[in-house]
Chains A and B, each alone.
Chain A
């Protein structure tokens, strides 16, 4: 049973437009969330995080929104660039479980020039 879901395996967006990647979770104990970006044959790179005391966190072109009641978070990339084409993983953790994160299956983003 997947505790962290990314229901869109892939997403295509035109360069300059907004990319929205979604993530849903089932465990209400999760209170810290991360987004990672991964290029082929490389390890994931940390992008942005959010804790459950906030509902939004921004870092440059990347913004993560958290809706705790819906157990949903989303990553917005504005404006999208071709270099953003990668697989994006959502990960969640509950402090009671220590620091072990549960990862979603990933969404492949393609930004078209």
Chain B
């Protein structure tokens, strides 16, 4: 079955540490996205990538970094520069054109302790 796999489901991090969230898709989608969800807010775009080896900042990119070395993979690193990293993170993909709905992963809940 095609889909998006995010791991881990739950992640705990100590303050000052970097942590990397995994996102893998086997849908052959060109475009991939990282969103963050906080209580009472909509999904906010962190980074997106439309093709391999290229990515763009979203609305809240500060304190995050990404890479897109393979079409299937779009890992997100939450760095120690991110002031408030505790949140629910969602990875998504689309075939590449805006007329298609997104396919989402099941998310990673990151908690800073």
Chain A residues near B (Cβ < 8 Å): 2, 4, 6, 9, 32, 34, 36, 41-46, 49, 51, 89, 91, 93, 95, 98-106
Q: Which residues of B contact A103 (CB under 8 A)?
A: 35, 42-44
Q: Known contacts A99-B94, A100-B58: does B45 contact A44 (CB below 8 Å)?
A: no
CA gap between A69 and B109 in the complex, in Å: 39
- CB distance B104 to A102 under 8 Å? no
Q: How many interface contacts (CB-CB < 8 Å) are there between A and B?
A: 62
A-B contact pairs, 25 of them (CB 8 A): A4-B42, A9-B40, A32-B98, A36-B101, A36-B102, A36-B104, A41-B109, A42-B106, A44-B43, A44-B102, A46-B102, A49-B101, A51-B99, A89-B42, A91-B43, A93-B98, A99-B94, A99-B96, A100-B45, A100-B48, A100-B58, A101-B102, A103-B43, A104-B42, A105-B41
Partner of B104, one of A2, A32, A44, A51: A44
Residue of B nearest to A95 (CB): B98
Instruction: Report the interface size for chain B: residues with CB under 8 A from the other chain.
Output: 30
CA gap between A34 and B58 in the complex, in Å: 19
Q: Does B31 contact A (CB under 8 A)?
A: yes
- CB distance A46 to B101 under 8 Å? yes
Ranked 10 nearest A-B pairs via Cβ:
A43-B104, A99-B98, A46-B101, A103-B42, A103-B43, A105-B42, A43-B106, A104-B42, A44-B104, A43-B105
Convert B44-58 into 0s and 1s, putting 1 for each residue whose CB lies closer than 8 angstroms to a CB of A. 110010100000001
Residue of A nearest to B38 (CB): A105
Convert B76-99 into 0s and 1s, putting 1 for each residue whose CB lies closer than 8 angstroms to a CB of A. 000000000000001010101111
- CB distance B40 to A102 under 8 Å? no
Q: Known contacts A49-B101, A95-B98: does B107 contact A102 (CB below 8 Å)?
A: no
CB distance from A46 to the nearest CB of B (A): 4
CB distance from B77 to the nearest CB of A (A): 20
Q: Does B110 contact A (CB under 8 A)?
A: no
Q: Does B22 contact A (CB under 8 A)?
A: no
- CB distance A32 to B99 under 8 Å? yes
